[in-house]
Structure 1
Amino acid sequence: MAKRKDILKRFGERVRELRKEQGYSQENFAYACELDRTYVGGIERGERNVALRNIERIAATLGISVAELMDGV
């Protein structure tokens, strides 16, 4: 069985995919989430273990539920 990517990498890829689908630059997305751009970059690279409050902020900014954000992660 092939090893799955680390959950932080999978989550980061999901956030990047959804952000780009909605046409956000990383900087504008971070601003809309009220998060630092470097923090969002770290999330997308799978370097950050994201707090639940920030996961909720990201989902709200994308206009989706936390469950939808986590779909496939």
Structure 2
Amino acid sequence: MAEQMTALVVFNLVGFLAALIPIISFWVAPEPTRSAVERIYGWIRSRHRLVVALIAGAVGVFFLVMGLTHL
């Protein structure tokens, strides 16, 4: 039971880090975080097709590898 609880806590911490890091950054240093987020958002907006293609390609490669490993 202790191993399952530890695994659950670690899984949730890793999963929530993607949201916790920006939230803590906004709390500690709001202006530098805001400017960084705006720069990243601007870069993504200017390269929208490239970002979508990279995400689709990564998902495709993942499924290809998963399919080949299960043959």
More helix by share: 2
Q: What range is the shorter-chain TM-score in?
A: under 0.3
Structure with bigger RCO (C-alpha 8 Å, 6+ apart): 1
Higher Cα Rg: structure 1 or 2?
Answer: 2
